[in-house]
Amino acid sequence: MKTNVIYTNEQIRERISQLGEEISRSYSDDRPVLCICVLRGAVMFFTELVQKIRGEVVLDFMTLSSYDSGTSSSGKVRMVNGIREDVKGKHVLIVEDIIDSGHTIKFLREYFSEKDPVDVKVACLLDKPMTRQVHADVDFKAFTLEKPSFVIGYGLDYDQHYRNLSNILEVESL
């Protein structure tokens, strides 16, 4: 596999610190922020990000699937494991690794909005707007990909491999 580093670990961590500050400023009341990690891809981003958010933060995790295998989304989102926390009366911050087709974020916004939260916001490590199939608002993003690259590292995978890489790499050829 031929790859090219597009974001170093230092760049990622610096941007996550800035993002944590942006997120902290956006919540002006004392209500808790329920940060929901969409497993597995967002776990590295999530653990770094929640440490940078000021105020009361509650953590929860969920597993969704929209990738059958390989590099493309099936477009059908299914919940594998849901959260345990009640979202009613809380700020909900969905933390995703990459916003690609938009199907997952659309599904999650609709799902959580029905449960009476104060609000539902989305933070992602990477935004890939050129591959959107449905409208998906992203409130906080670390980086925007400028071309429709397939990327690995820092939680992002290819068939469950390469999540442990500390940088984000563009896959030039498999």
Residues taking part in catalysis: 100
Q: Is the peptide bond before 132 cis (omega within 30 degrees of 0)?
A: no
Q: Which helix (H) or strand (E) holds 173?
A: strand 168-173
Render each residue's pLDDT in the chain as its tens digit; 174 residues. Answer: 899 999 999 999 999 999 999 999 999 898 999 999 999 999 999 999 999 999 999 999 999 987 555 555 567 898 999 999 999 999 999 999 999 999 999 999 999 999 999 999 999 999 999 999 999 999 999 999 999 899 999 999 999 999 999 999 999 987
* Nearest C-alpha neighbor of 97 from the set 172, 7, 4: 7
DSSP string computed for 49-109: HHTT--S-EEEEEEEEEEE-STTSEEEEEEEEE---S--TTSEEEEEEEEE-SSHHHHHHH
pTM of the model: 0.93
What is 14-22+29-65+78-145's CATH topology? Rossmann fold (3.40.50)
